[in-house]
Amino acid sequence: MRGPHDEQTPLLAACREQAPERGTSRFPFHPESRSTPWWRRLCFELFGDAGDAAAVQLSDLWELPRDLRSSDTADELQRCLAACGRRLFRAVWRMNAGRLSKSVVLALGAMALWVVYPVLLYRMLNLVVLEERAELLSIAVHALLMFLALTGHRVLLCHSQAQTSRVAARVGSGLRVMMLREILLHGARRSQDSSQQPSQPTQRLGELAMLYEDDYRAVCELIFNTNLSWTAAIGLAVDVGMIVFLVGVPWQILFFDGVLFGAVWAAEEWGRSRATASWRQQVVRRLNVTHECFRGIQNVKLNAWEDKMQQKIEHARHEEMRFFRRLL
């Protein structure tokens, strides 16, 4: 049974009858549409001009795929969490094992092409420098192979990130719907309890939603940056191996550079964590001021009091923005 806030509303369904396929005459490109040429589907990041996005009409919208509808995704995530013992990352893998595996394979292919490029460059330089008469055909072949390696690396990396971003969008929408359902259900229970016991304090649902919003956003960022993390680690190891074995740089120098880089990174991370904690304190303080002001406005219906509360809200917002500019 569809809810009142389902993605398929009668208005959009009537307008989408003119464009059953993903993509329209004014916005024909879509990376998953069968009408899109294969070369655009292959290089959709490089040739994916969508035109004027501000002039989008209802007839230009295609139907949202079923696996991206937030209500269906939330139900599926709830079932996977129950099957995996309430462990989130196991549930995410259970939901999106195919796309995550495809993303890993594409990232490995992109990493292999990225490793091939400096080898081809080294061979071409040896061919030009060491040989007295280098053949133009061999140099052109090496240059063409280098171009194909870079292009293939970019295409595979683009598609790998597209797979992970789709998984992050699914998990993020499902977590948001689950969070809102829990908060609304908890608020309804608290309101019933407060009606029976008037002395019990009221739960601030907006503050709860804002606090949990950072959590599901962090989960989405972690999923999106998964391939980037381990491919960057593999690439760093390959680069270090090339520098040590091909160029001949002593490993002690590289070890010292790694320790220095790690110390600088740890200091930056510590400073960022402190700044983030201070920023959250400022946000919570502004929320408390806003809540207190609105509670006062509800209790006392006076214009002077409302002006005073508005001044307090503006002062809290000004302090927060000044603190944020100081961080930048």
- Dihedral over Cα of 113, 115, 121, 126: its sign: negative
Looking at residue 328, its pLDDT comes to: 56
Give residue for tokens 């990396």.
157
Mean pLDDT of the chain: 75
Residue 26 confidence (pLDDT):
60
Torsion-angle region of 51 (φ positive above 0: left; ψ -120 to 50: alpha; else: beta)? left
Q: What tokens appear for 193 in the block?
A: 């309890």
- Tell me if 327 sits within 8 A of 275, measured CB to CB: yes
Report the C-alpha gap between 243 and 248 in whole angstroms: 6
- Contact (Cβ atoms closer than 8 angstroms) between residue 243 and residue 254: yes
Per-residue pLDDT at 144 exceeds 90: yes
pLDDT the model gives residue 13: 45
pLDDT (average), residues 140-151: 92
What is the structure's pLDDT at 15? 46
Look at residue 117 and tell me whether its pLDDT is greater than 60: yes
Q: Which two tokens stand for residue 252?
A: 């002690």
Q: What is the residue-wise DSSP string for 233-280? A: HHHHHHHHHHIIIII---HHHHHHHHHHHHHHHHHHHHHHHHHHHHHH
**Cβ-contact 194, 200 below 8 angstroms:** yes
Quick one: CA dihedral 311, 315, 317, 318, positive or negative? positive
Query: Is the confidence at residue 158, as pLDDT, over 80?
Result: yes
Mean pLDDT, residues 212-221 taken together: 80
Question: DSSP 3-state helix, strand, coil percentages of the chain (rounded to 5)?
Answer: 80, 0, 20
Instruction: Name the pLDDT band for 303 (thresholds 50, 70, 90).
Output: low
Q: Which residue type sits at 277?
A: A
Instruction: Find which of 122-136, 168-182, 241-255 is predicted with most confidence, using mean pLDDT.
Output: 168-182
Higher-confidence position of 283 and 154: 154
Per-residue confidence (pLDDT) for residue 7, from 0 to 100 = 43
Alpha-carbon distance of 232 to 219, in angstroms, equals: 20
Task: Please say if the pLDDT value at position 151 is more than 70.
Answer: yes
Residue-wise pLDDT tens digits, 2-54: 444 444 444 444 444 444 455 556 656 666 677 777 887 788 776 655 555 56
Of the pLDDT bands very low, low, confident and very high (cuts 50, 70, 90), residue 148 is very high
Tens of pLDDT, residues 222-253: 888 887 888 888 878 777 777 777 767 777 88
